[in-house]
Amino acid sequence: MSRIEACLSTIKKNNGKALIPFLTAGDPSPSITANLMHELVLAGADIIELGVPFSDPMADGPVIQRASERALAQKTNTDDVFNIVKDFRDKDKITPVILMGYLNPIEIMGYKKFVEKASKVGVDGLIVVDLPPEESADLQEALKLHDIDQIFLLSPTTIGDRLNKICKAASGFLYYVSLKGVTGSNQLNIKKVEEKIKEIRAQSTLPLAVGFGIKDAEVAQAVGRISDAVVIGSALVEKIAKYSGNTEEMIEEISSFIISLRKALDNI
Amino acid sequence: MSKIEKNIDTSTIDTFSCMPDENGHFGLYGGRFVAETLMGPLEELEEAYKKYINDPEFNAEFVSDLKHYVGRPSPLYHAKRWSEQLGGAQIYLKREDLNHTGAHKINNTVGQALLAKRMGKQRVIAETGAGQHGVATATVAARYGMECVVYMGAEDIKRQAINVFRIKLLGAKVVPVDAGSKTLKDALNEAMRDWVTYVDKTFYIIGTVAGPHPYPAMVRDFNAVVGREVREQCLTQIGKLPNTLVACVGGGSNAIGLFYPFLDDKEISIYGVEAAGGGLSTGKHAAPLNAGKPGVLHGNRTYLMEDDYGQIIETHSISAGLDYPGVGPEHSWLKDTGRANYVSVTDIEAIQAFHDLCQIEGIIPALESSHAIAYTSKIAPKMDKNEIIVVNLSGRGDKDIQTVATHEGITI
């Protein structure tokens, strides 16, 4: 069983909800990302989603775009991202780490080499935003050799046969994009999300995470009630940006934010 | 990139006009690399496109609007004085600059707007670099009564103030894009973000032969009217087909429009001209086919300008319309198969060609098209006097007068 599956099934057994914060590797600088990841775990994160910076993040809203720009301004490259995961793994052998990014940085390294490096440093899952299942056969093959889960996204526009196909191809968990839009949007409709989740549950028994547009403890709790895991991206990255000049203050802020989300999910 | 294999055996390729395959691939290139939310809408678009491209009523309206609104067919003009001065091949200019709105871009926007109308989409969006595609989209939006939003890099807005005002006059909204390099690629990112958010009511009119399938094929098909007319005009006016075709390549829509109907005439040589900016050796250029590597950007796999870690790098060209780090996937395929040759000319060579055409033929060409003109002046003298070169004069240069003046230190 992969680290992701083990993590999620334990949480489910205890009737809990998983909390998955997202941060961009190298934002505000590559030297503190691993520390931030530890702090997130201390505050109650179950899985860490680590963004691989890309110059043209088409599916992201302004908050995560700027995080990518800050990371690239610090010259964060793919090998730095692997080093960050390695540093994190030195002290934390349990918390699953998922890389989230775009295809081009993976493609230029070569699928095989990328996956070998990722596996070696302890990456557990991979989300490639612009790689739909139709184009992912080669990457999937490489990932299977190293037991890394490829996490597929489902969206409000994923219907019919397509929904069925993706549910069958997925491993680890399913990630439902809660709205039509980019990360950090402000228009999540909980009723619509609930309807879609019912539809997905009818097709798959994999754990289901929901992301995009979850900005505070209240929304997290509402989403947690109808799913297995909640992803927090832009709302967290915004705090990292706000306190980027003062690491101590930043850690305090993001920790108390994650603690508030943890409490909200534990009180479901 | 385990899939990329070079050195394709071209002798086994019978036809070059059969692409893309059913999954939108041009050999190793093309495809559909987008966020999940757009996959459903792209399938819907593909279905609508397949349905209407063969629909007689759709085609009749398209042909009629091209004739009465755009002013097609555009002339094929024998540039006699210029040909004589160069002393070689006879050069014919395909006068896309004489179209309504002043460039080939309108062929495609008319086609896509008619499709949007049939799909019941009341809102159209577009990205634009030089502003020509923005103008062409705003124009058809006005013509068909649709809401229109145009995304444009903040840097390009500065460079192309006149086109920005034209777009506004036509009733469209211009949204400046401040992200990244603030040019065409960033405008495209932002338009994609808009599309993903308002996908139910919005039709995204992409202006070039890039993007996810079916855009590269669809934009090509709407522009292929250029090559079809050239074929007919050559036969009527000259009594034979041309020996050589030349067109500039940014994303590559005017080029593929001219090339496509001739791809299977293997005796005709084809040249796509990229922007070498300050020179290929300086790294300050926009020539991915000459100096880039295959990768994935904006929904398709194609040659890109990127660094060693796959980050897209800034491009440089005096011509905003060529200032793009990618290129249509079909061009990547035509390069690898050797069917088309991709060359480049510098800013300085393009400006020289711009002046030459102004003074020798009385035609002010767009700086984009000036790249094709510049390359033609290199090859024409080496050719025989009864050989024919057709150059796509893809746009008129009124929009570039300020840029040329600034480049030469002149205040208008």
Last residue of a domain, one of B171, B188, B219: B219
> What pLDDT sits at residue A193?
95
Q: Give Dmax over CA atoms of chain A in angstroms.
A: 49
Cβ distance A158 to B293 less than 8 Å, yes or no, reads no
Whether residue B167 is found in the same domain as residue B262: no
Residues B347 and B237 in one domain: yes
In this prediction, residue B382 carries a pLDDT of 98
In terms of domains, do B150 and B134 share one? yes
Mean pLDDT for the stretch of residues B45-68: 97
Q: Is the pLDDT of residue B7 over 60?
A: no
Q: Are residues B139 and B206 in the same domain?
A: yes
| Tokens 């929304």 found at | A219
Hey, where are the domains in chain A? 3-266
Residues of chain A numbered 44-73 and touching chain B (CB < 8 Å): 54-59, 61-62, 65, 69, 72
B336 with B261, same domain: the answer is yes
Cβ neighbour number for residue B168 with a 10 Å cutoff: 13
Residues of A in contact with B306 (CB under 8 A): 104, 108
B299 phi-psi bin (left φ>0, alpha ψ -120 to 50, beta other): left
What is the per-residue pLDDT for B367? Answer: 97
Mean pLDDT of B260-283: 97
Work out the pLDDT band at B2, boundaries 50, 70, 90: very low
pLDDT of residue A146: 95
Asked if the interface predicted TM-score (ipTM) of this complex is over 0.90, the answer is yes
In a domain, B195, yes or no: yes
Provide the 10 A C-beta neighbour count for residue B118.
15
- Please state the rounded mean pLDDT for residues A17-43: 98
Residues of B in contact with A55 (CB under 8 A): 180, 311-313
Tens digits of residue pLDDT in B79-126:
999 999 999 999 999 999 999 999 999 999 999 999 999 999 999 999
Residues B295-317 have a mean pLDDT of 97
The whole-number average pLDDT for the span A104-132 is: 97
Peptide bond before B41: cis, by omega within 30 degrees of 0?
no
Give yes or no for A169 touching B (CB within 8 A). Answer: no
Same domain, B287 and B334: yes
Q: Which residue in A5, A27, A46, A49 is the catalytic one? A: A49
Order the strands of the B299-304 sheet from edge to edge. Answer: B25-26, B29-33, B299-304, B293-297
More confident residue, B183 or B135: B135
Q: How far is A128 from chain B (nearest CA, A)?
A: 9
Mean pLDDT for chain B overall: 95
Q: Quote the minimal CA–CA distance from A53 to chain B in Å.
A: 9
Do B311 and B391 fall into the same domain?
yes
**pLDDT for B4 beyond 70:** no
Residues B60, B80 within the same domain: no
- Is B318 domain-assigned? yes
**CATH number, domain containing residue B338:** 3.40.50.1100
pLDDT at A21 over 50: yes
Whether residue B287 sits in one domain with residue B234: yes
- Average pLDDT over every residue of B352-371: 98
Comparing B291 with B184, the larger pLDDT belongs to: B291
Give residue B281's domain range. Answer: 71-103+223-407
Residue B6 lies in a domain: no
pLDDT at A256 over 50: yes
Topology (CATH level 3) of domain A3-266: TIM Barrel (3.20.20)
Do B140 and B271 fall within a single domain? no
Distance CA B125, CA B120 (A): 14
Residue B158: what pLDDT?
A: 86
- Examine the fold and report which residue of B171, B195, B219 is the final residue of a domain before the chain moves on: B219
Q: Do B39 and A132 touch (CB under 8 A)?
A: yes
Mean pLDDT confidence for B207-214: 97
- pTM for the model: 0.96
Q: Mean pLDDT for chain A?
A: 95
Residue B131 lies in a domain: yes
User: Which two structure tokens, joined as six digits, stand for B337?
Assistant: 């198969």
If asked whether residues B173 and B263 sit together in one domain, one would say no
The pLDDT-based confidence of B11 (bands split at 50, 70, 90) is: low
Is residue A199 less than 8 Å (CB to CB) from chain B?
A: no
Amino acid at B21: D
Distance from CA of A193 to the nearest CA of B (A): 14
If you average pLDDT over residues A52-81, what whole number do you get? 96
Statement: residue B10 has pLDDT above 90: no
Residue A191 has pLDDT above 90, yes or no: yes
Q: Which of B157, B185, B219 is the last residue before a domain boundary?
A: B219
Interface mutation vs chain B, best among A76, A100, A107, most B CBs within 10 Å:
A107
B229 given a catalytic annotation: no
Instruction: Work out whether the CA dihedral B335, B340, B346, B351 comes out positive or negative.
Output: negative
Q: What is the pLDDT of residue B393?
A: 98
Residue A107 annotated to the active site: no
Q: Provide the pLDDT for residue B5.
A: 45
The reported pLDDT for the residue numbered B159 is: 79
In this prediction, residue A13 carries a pLDDT of 94
Question: Are the beta carbons of A185 and B197 separated by less than 8 Å?
Answer: yes
Query: Is 50 exceeded by the pLDDT of residue B1?
Result: no
How many residues are given for chain B? 412
Pair B330, B29: CB distance under 8 Å: yes
Residue B7 domain flag: no
Does residue B12 lie within any of the structural domains? no
Does residue B17 sit within a domain?
no
Residue A1's CB is within 10 A of a number of other CB atoms, namely 8
Catalytic, B182? Answer no
**What token pair was written down for B125?**
């969006």
> Which percentage of chain B shows pLDDT scores above 70?
97
As a three-state string, the secondary structure of chain B is: CCCCCCCCCHHHCCCCCCCCCCCCEECCEEEEECCHHHHHHHHHHHHHHHHHHCCHHHHHHHHHHHHHHHCCCCCEEECHHHHHHHCCCEEEEEEHHHCHHHECHHHHHHHHHHHHHHCCCCEEEEEECCCHHHHHHHHHHHHHCCEEEEEEEHHHHHHCHHHHHHHHHCCCEEEEECCCCCCHHHHHHHHHHHHHHCCCCEEECCCCCCCCCCHHHHHHHHHCHHHHHHHHHHHHHCCCCCCEEEEECCCCHHHHHHHHHHCCCCCCEEEEEEEEECCHHHCCCECHHHHCEEEEECEEEEEECECCCCCECCCCCCCHHHCCCCCCHHHHHHHHHCCCEEEEEEHHHHHHHHHHHHHHHCCCECHHHHHHHHHHHHHHHHCCCCCEEEEEECEECHHHHHHHHHHCCCCC
Tell me, what's the pLDDT at A184? 84
One domain, residues B306 and B167: no
Of residues B102, B131, B55, B125, the one with CA closest to residue B394: B102
Instruction: For B120-177, write each residue's pLDDT tens digit.
Output: 999 999 999 889 999 999 999 999 999 999 999 998 898 788 899 999 999 999 999 9
Confidence of residue B3 (pLDDT cuts 50, 70, 90): very low
Section B294-310 average pLDDT: 98
